[in-house]
Amino acid sequence: MAGIRHVLTDYDRREAISLSQAAFIANRTVETVRGWAANKDLGRKVAGRWAISHPCLLAFLEDDQAALEAYWAGDRTSEIVVKYFNRAGVPLKGGA
């Protein structure tokens, strides 16, 4: 995909989970999740440490490419993205 991918845009710590939390959710190693974060745009470094977007991880684990593309494009309002925020228990700004 060309262009900037918006991962943890307008950073809200409630959306972010640690590598170890993401590894537990995904049933994978921390090293695997670190690779996903870097190569699959599931997170970004915040204050020198990886932060993983919980909603983005859930969409990735379900292989929901449409939701990932929408998330990466900055969409935080369409149902295809909102459902992952809801599942992750992450409130959206503006009450969505």
Instruction: Please answer whether residues 61 and 53 qualify as being in contact, where contact means their C-beta atoms are separated by less than 8 angstroms.
Output: no
Residue 71 has pLDDT above 60, yes or no: yes
Q: What does each C-alpha distance from 77 to 23, 38, 39, 84 come to in angstroms?
A: 27, 25, 25, 11
pTM of the model: 0.88
pLDDT-above-70 percentage for the chain = 91
Residue 11 has pLDDT above 90, yes or no: no
pLDDT for res 33:
96
Instruction: Please answer whether residues 15 and 55 qualify as being in contact, where contact means their C-beta atoms are separated by less than 8 angstroms.
Output: yes
* pLDDT tens digits, one per residue of 30-66: 999 999 998 999 998 988 999 999 999 999 999 999 9
Where along the chain do its domains lie? 16-88
